[in-house]
Every structure is written in C-alpha cells, then in structure tokens.
Structure 1
Amino acid sequence: MDISVAKRLFLAFVQSLGYLFLFIVFGLFLDSYFMPDIYVPKQHLATIVMLLAFAFLYYRSGSRSREQMFYAVIIGFLGEYLFSIALGMYTYRLGNVPHYVPLGHAIVLVATMNFCKKPIVKTYRKQLEKILAFFIVAYSTLFLIFAQDVFGFLMSLAVIYLLRNKPRERLFYFSMYLVVAFLEIVGTTYKCWSWPETAYGVIPFLKSANPPSGISLFYFLLDLGCLWFYKKRNLMAWKRMKSIRIIATQNVVS
C-alpha cells in the first residue's frame, strides 16, 4: 500500500468515521459530567443536537439506509431499556436512558455503513481487515493487561471467531468495533455512563473494565435486528439480490 493509497483511505475515513468521531466528542460532552450547568437540561441539549445530526444523515441517505435508521432507533430504544433499566447491565449518569441514545445508535450504524461503501475502502478491504484485526487484538490485550478486562477480552475474541468465515460482513463489523471502542472511551471518560467491575454486575469471577473492550459484540445485535426487519419488509427484493450474488459467485468460480 503506497502513500497515495494511504492518503485516499485516510480521506475516506475522515469523510465518514472522522466526522462521526468529532460529533461523538462534541455531542457527548453536552451530557457530560464536565459540562457546566445551564438553563436547558444538558441531556435535552444533547438530544436536540442528536436530532439535527439524525435528520442530516437521514436526508443524505438512500431508501435502504433510511429504513434501517428507523429500525435502529426502535431496537435501540427497546434494547437500552431492557439492558440498562430492567437488567442493570450498565448505568447512565442520571439513572435513565437519555433520549439521544437510540438516535445515536442509528447514526453510528449508518456512518459505519457509509465508510464501508467507499470505493477505495472496497478495493483495499482485505488490507483494512488485517489492520483492524490487529487493532482488536492489541486493544483488547492492553485492556486485559492494564485493566484486568477479562470480559472484554473474551468478547473481542468472540468477534474475531464469529467473523472468521464471514468475508462479506467482516469489514463492517471490524469497523464497528473501532467506532464502538472510541464511543465507549469518550462516553465513560465524560461519565455519561458507566460499566460495573464485573461482567454486567452478575458474573463476579469475570472481571470487566469501564468500558469493556469488546462490547461492540452487543452492538452487532442492533445491525442484525435491522437487517432482519429489512429482509422481512422487502422479501422479494432480498431474494432477488441473493440470487444475483449466487450467480456472480458461480461466474467467478467458472
């Protein structure tokens, strides 16, 4: 990979995930422990900003992405109340589920999809997968050594294992791991939310960091849920696309 290719890949990253990272830093700061108290409640201010970002992405997205954004908000809403409020697996700053969180799930999903759709990213997907796999191993290992994050390390290994025979999905989920790792570091640093010292606070022998390194494994459920709803809503189109893929694969083999 020469310098010109690296520059083009970096530009593709900046135009999708780079903007997302900046938005995460700014958006979560509005609900952070460090944000000064103002007349408008901080979580409401963060929600307004998130709504504007959601509307912007929705307007710029195609019909399929728009539909999946809608599903992501619904699944994110139900999942947050189940995992955080009902099961107490993690806790938000005020003990509630901020309204901006389900919207944020949709934004993370679409931004990661947009990155993976970039032509230069598709061309060098194999090299990117290797780089991201190295990052996952290194990141989770450092958390294991310095934060006794056994829980996150095991989930990180599960990510790599589950995607070993999934070449079509591998780049997206590896990229999602990177995004979620950054999101969780910022969110917990700002004290917007926190994770217990053991796995979800229910498995005492499975130590966990705040945040656990491999928590993106549970974010994958969001994408799988969105994909399931999309397939059910567009069954004929999905079957047609599967048939085209099979024919294309057969032609390549031939």
Structure 2
Amino acid sequence: MIRAAAIVTAICTGLWIDQIFAAHGQLIVNFVVWLLFIVWLWREHPATQVALVACLVYATIGEIFLSLIWGLYEYRLANVPLFVPPGHALLFMLGGLMAARAANWIVWAVPLAAAPFVLLLAAVGADTFGLALYCVFLACMAFGRAKKLYAVMFVLALAMEIYGTWLGNWTWSSAVPWLGLSTLNPPLAAGAFYCVLDLLVMATVGRRSHYALLHAAR
C-alpha cells in the first residue's frame, strides 16, 4: 500500500504544483514523476519492465495524437508535459493494485451506475462523445480479460480528470474535432481510453507480461 499511497500523492500534488507554480512547477513535476517511474521500473521483474515500457510508449503516442493532432484537449502550456506519459503508467499501476483487491461486483456496478448519467448527458446534447466512449468501455468489459481493471480505471480516470480540469492543468474541447460531437470538460467516460491502452499493452507484450503489469504495484 506504500506504493499506492505514493502514486496518489505524486499525482495529486504534482498536478497542483504544475498549476500553482506556473513558472517552474512543470519542471519539478517532470523530474519527480520520471524519478518515481524509473526507480520502480528498475526494481521490477523483467516481464513487468517490458509491460511498463510498452505502456509508456503507447501513452506517449496517445497523448501526442489525442491532444496535439486530434485536439480533444489542450494542456495548460499547449504542450504534452513530460510527466504525463509516466504518470499514465503510474496510474495504471495504481489501478492494478486496486483491481486485485476489488470485489467481483465492481464489474457490473460501475457500468450500471454510469449508464443513466451517460444516457442523460447524451440525450440533452451535453456529452454525446461520452456515449461513444462509454460504448468503447462496454466493449472492453465484454471482450477484454481484465474486467475489474477496466471498471477500476473508469472510476480512477474520471476522478483524475475532474481534479486536473478543475485545477486547469488541461481543458477538453467542447466540440470534438472531426466528429462534430459534444463533450464535457471532462467527458464522463474518459476512462475508456485506459481500457484501450490496456488492450494495446496486452497485444504487444502478451498475457504473461500483462499479468505482471497488473500486479506491479503489489
């Protein structure tokens, strides 16, 4: 649980420092988050190391595409902060720890609890993109192996998104480029992107390394 507490502290404090200390805050957070990631990576089993590096690579590519190319959201300095990709990997480690201890009912409770809010927001036109993301989430829950992880990450990602957008670290566009869909700041089902990240990592490194990644935080 020490690692889990360290990850939560690093994410919450790091986003706050990045926003409050506008001049040099991002440099400080970059250094600390990368240091945590490298230290934990160095201490892990080789299979876990491969999975975490794959997670880092896909997170980097995803951030560049989603933010700089697609324009779904924009960071405070109109860049992709260097702490973001390893931060994704750290959040994923936290999700693995929580999923390993979560009850089985979370698999159906999270989608069921989110459904009325997603449908209502889409019906009134406030977050039609959220409905699309929710469908991606349901597909991952139906066909993916790590169902508890998907449910946990759906909640964790939403919590982080609410915190980060509230601080002003990044802002989601009100209209989704290319698709003409509306979205909130943040979209309710933003956690679907983490489900896709998991599927990509699993497809790249195989089931054994994927299993190691989910238990890296133990």
User: Residues 180 and 71 of structure 1: is their aligned pair in 2 closer, same or farther, counting only changes over 3 Å?
Assistant: same
Partner of 1:219: 194
1:203 to 179, 182, 193: 179
Q: Which runs of 5+ in 2 are unaligned?
A: 212-218
Shift of 1:96: 0.9
Q: What is the CA-CA distance between 1:219 and the residue it aligns to?
A: 2.4
Distance 1:16 1:130 in 2: 28
Q: Per the alignment, in what secondary structure is the counterpart of residue 97 of structure 1? A: coil
In structure 1, the residue matched to 2:91 is 108
1:184 aligns with 2:161: yes
> Aligned equivalents of 1:98 and 1:196: distance in 2?
18
C-alpha contact 1:30 1:43 (8 A) present in aligned 2: yes
- Range with bigger deviation, 149-158 or 15-24: 15-24
Deviations along 1:106-135, one digit per CA (max 9) or x if unpaired, are 1122221222234xx3xx32x222332334
- In 1, the alpha carbon distance for the partners of 2:54 and 2:21 equals 34
Tell whether 2:109 aligns with 1:131.
Answer: yes
Aligned residue for 1:148? 126
| 1:25 matched to 2:6 | no
Q: Could you list the per-position Cα deviations for residues 136-156 of structure 1 after superposition, in whole angstroms to 9, with x for gaps in the alignment? A: 335535755898122113322
Match of 1:163 in 2: 141
Partner of 1:230: 205
In 2, Cα distance between the equivalents of 1:27 and 1:147?
34
Question: Secondary structure of 1:198's match?
Answer: coil
5 Å-filtered alignment, 1:233-248, equals: none
Normalization by structure 2: what TM-score? 0.81
Overall identity of the aligned pairs, in %: 22
Cα distance in 2 between the residues matched to 1:113 and 1:70: 16
Cα distance change, pair 178–111 in 1 and its aligned pair in 2 (3 A): same
Deviations 1:18-45 (A, max 9, x none): 654443221111111xx0445xx22111
Higher relative contact order (CA 8 A, sep 6+): 2
- CA distance 1:215–1:79, shift in 2 (3 Å): same
CA contact (8 A) 1:21 1:182 kept: no
Give the Cα–Cα distance (whole angstroms) in 2 for the partners of residues 148 and 20 of structure 1.
Answer: 32
Report if aligned partners of 2:74, 2:170 keep a CA contact under 8 Å in 1: yes
> What is the aligned length?
210
Structure 1 unaligned residues grouped into runs of 5+: 1-13, 242-254
C-alpha separation in 2, matches of 1:18 and 1:130: 26
In the superposition, the TM-score normalised over structure 1's length comes to 0.71
CA deviation profile, 1:218-247 (whole Å, cap 9, x unmatched): 22222222222212xx9xx78xx9xxxxxx
Contact 2:10 2:33 in 1 (8 A): no
Distance 1:137 1:22 in 2: 30
Note if contact 2:150-2:194 (Cα within 8 Å) is conserved in structure 1.
no
Runs of 4+ in 1 over 6 A off after TM superposition: none
RMSD of aligned alpha carbons = 2.9
